[in-house]
Amino acid sequence: MAAGEDGGRAPVCLCVLCGLPAAGKSSLGLTVLSTAAQLGWRATVVPYDDLIPGQAFHPRVEEEEDGAMHTEWKSHRQAVLQCIELLLKSPEVSAELLSGRQINTAAWEQCVRVLLQPEAVDPSQADRAPLLFLLDDNFYYPSMRYEVFQLARKYSLGFCQVYLHCDVESCISRNQQRPEPIPTEVILEMGKRLEPPNPQKNSWETQSISLNTTDNLSKLDIQRVTELISSALRNPLSPVEDNTEQKEADRLKCATSVFHQADQACRRLISEAMRTARGQTGENQVSSEHMRSLASQLNESKATFLRSLREQLLQDPSFSQEEDMDVERVVKSAVDVFDREKKEILLKIIYDHK
């Protein structure tokens, strides 16, 4: 199984299952496991919800894009991929060596046990049986999925994506029937942010399919998933980086940097506006009701502004190399737009109160 072995290594595929919470990813994973056993594949589901501590998954929605919060959360996700990489290199890596890697060791041991002791595979053929990792998570930003693609390319593995499309209302309804439902507002916010695989924009997402999971999956849906994985196993990625893909990755990195800095600048502007409103005295003093309205309008304006900014950044081909551009200037130019909106909202609240 070691990734560094010379020819004869069993084919490996990293399959990303992405979509909203309660879209049906776990159910699909179990069905694919059953199909994989029939085909003689060694397969396991990598459940991010089980592997990553709960507190890393549930920051308050309005804080999720905060720098420190995002960094801590992202490091847990990277730890999962590091564990997969270690397993590929050395299957006998003990759980003790993984204990400091920010994952639930017991959950990871369960994943590994299924691969190392496959019940449905002839023991004499196990080392040559295809190896399938089903990564079960929301993966709602392309940058999250691209990290999996990079790992697959690094070791010449197969890579594919299955996007489970399910309307938000159905996801919320299913979620409420769970023993431990996540907050509805988290699903609503994720529904706004989710960016499905887009092969037209990202060439590395070519091996992707979309399934409508609002209703039950059909045999044809499972067949499509199986064929996608089979194709990925037969056509592993090349470790040689394609220049176009690298440019896309660089643009994504630069756009993300601008986005986070703009987010922080907008937060500061909102704080300034709230302080200004509180500082009004005499007849101009703003009531508690108007303060709540101000906070609501400013946060709604910020969310709309940031969504528009993200779309602009990802579509603008000029965002290629961060070191080749003045990021501070780009951030200031973008935030000036929100600053004008902030001033208009603030003045309107103050004048309405008079």
Q: Give the rounded percent of residues in the chain with a pLDDT score beyond 70.
A: 76
Give, in degrees to the nearest 5, the angle at Cα 270 between 168 and 186. Answer: 20
74 has pLDDT over 50: yes
The winner for highest mean pLDDT among 91-105, 176-190, 221-235, 239-253 is: 221-235
Predicted pLDDT of residue 97:
53
What is the average pLDDT across 274-295?
A: 76
Q: How many helices (H) and strands (E) does the chain have?
A: 13, 5
pLDDT of residue 119: 62
Amino acid at 266: C
Q: Is the pLDDT of residue 191 over 60?
A: yes
Domains in the chain, CATH or no CATH each: 12-234 (3.40.50.300), 243-353 (no CATH)
The model's pLDDT over 5-55, given as tens digits with 9 standing for 90+, comes to: 445 678 999 999 999 999 999 999 999 999 998 998 999 999 998 888 665
pLDDT digits (tens, 9 = 90+) for 308-338: 888 777 766 555 444 455 677 778 888 888 8
Q: In the predicted model, is pLDDT for residue 108 greater than 50?
A: yes
Q: Is 110 exposed, middle or buried (0-12, 13-18, 19+ CB in 10 A)?
A: middle
The arithmetic mean of pLDDT across residues 104-131, rounded, is 74
Which pLDDT value is given to residue 273? 86
For range 261-287, the mean pLDDT: 80
Q: Enumerate the β-bridge partners of residue 132.
A: 13, 43
Q: 147-162: per-residue pLDDT in tens?
A: 999 999 999 999 999 9
The confidence score (pLDDT) of residue 4 equals 40
**Residue 107 structure tokens:** 């959950």
Residue 234 has pLDDT above 80, yes or no: yes
Phi, psi of 18 (to 5 degrees): -125, 155
Looking at per-residue confidence, does 99 or 83 come out higher?
83
Residues 200, 137 contacting (CB under 8 angstroms): no
Give the pLDDT score at 258.
Answer: 82
Placement of tokens 């960094």 in the chain: 71
Interior/surface letters 178-191, b for 16+ CB within 10 angstroms, e for the rest:
eeeebeeebbebbb
pLDDT at 339: 86
Q: What is the pLDDT of residue 322?
A: 43
Report the 3 state secondary structure along 86-152.
HHHHCCCCCHHHHCCCCCCHHHHHHHHHHHHCCCCCCHHHHHHCCEEEEEECCCCCHHHHHHHHHHH
According to the model, what pLDDT value does residue 59 have?
Answer: 43
Query: What does the pLDDT average to over 215-238?
Result: 94
Predicted confidence band of residue 175 (pLDDT cuts 50, 70, 90): very high
Residues pairing with 211 in the sheet = 164
pTM here is 0.65
Summary mean pLDDT of the chain? 81
